[in-house]
Amino acid sequence: MSAPEPATALQTPRRPYAALLAKGEDRRQRILGVAERLLARNGWRNTSLAQIAREAGVTPAGLLHHFESKEQLLNAVLDARDADDATHADYRSGDLITEISRVPERFKREPELAGTFTVLLAENIAPDAPLHDRLHKRYRDAADIITAIIERGQRNGDYRNDFDAATKAVEILAFINGMETLWLLDPSIPLTEVFKGYADSLGRELAATRPQPMPT
């Protein structure tokens, strides 16, 4: 009876490359989810990469394989917030009043993401904070988008022309960010009703007065 042939490299089962990629992406998303939760609870100053790795069930080296530094991980958390906004908000082509009334849907769908963003915003106010420049640019970009929408409405005759669009954009963003913070502090706030009331009031405030038809 002949001896069995030794296994060769070709005979060794290998995990498909796609499965390896999927497993790596699952691990990356798990790390991000843990980071969002810990950052929302403790802030970035009191959250270490070692804590995140332990909660995510990976080694510190495994975490660093996906995120080379704490700053890179913080930026990835903001990337997740931006991606969520891009997917579920349509300020550029949608109706401003409708989109404002829909903001609570985004808060309630991803409360930890909202909480993390609010904490990071508060902790990076100082000009030398690691995320200050990015958060400032994010705010300016949002203000520019809303300003452009209002100015378009003014040109089209949908909105009044007797107010400054950029100033109104700052007011709108202040309301959204302020309500996000208050809701995280007190989840019993009827967020949907508050936003609907603000959106309806804003719509009436911005609306151009249409000339009444002359009686025949």
The per-residue pLDDT for range 37-79, each reduced to its tens digit, is 898 888 888 899 999 999 999 999 999 999 999 889 988 988 8
Which pLDDT does position 37 carry in this prediction? 87
| pLDDT digits 0-9 by tens, 140-176 | 999 999 999 999 999 999 999 999 999 999 999 999 9
- Residue 58 region, left (φ>0) first, then alpha (ψ -120 to 50), else beta? beta
H helix runs in the chain, sequence order: 17-42, 49-56, 60-66, 70-88, 96-101, 103-109, 111-123, 132-155, 165-185, 191-206
CA distance 203 to 193: 15
pLDDT at 210: 64
Looking at the predicted structure, is the pLDDT value of residue 9 above 50? Answer: no
Domains in the chain, ordered, with CATH?
A: 71-206 (1.10.357)
The pTM is what?
0.74
Q: What is the mean pLDDT of residues 115-133?
A: 88
Q: What is the mean pLDDT of the chain?
A: 84
The pLDDT confidence band at residue 19, using thresholds 50, 70 and 90, is low
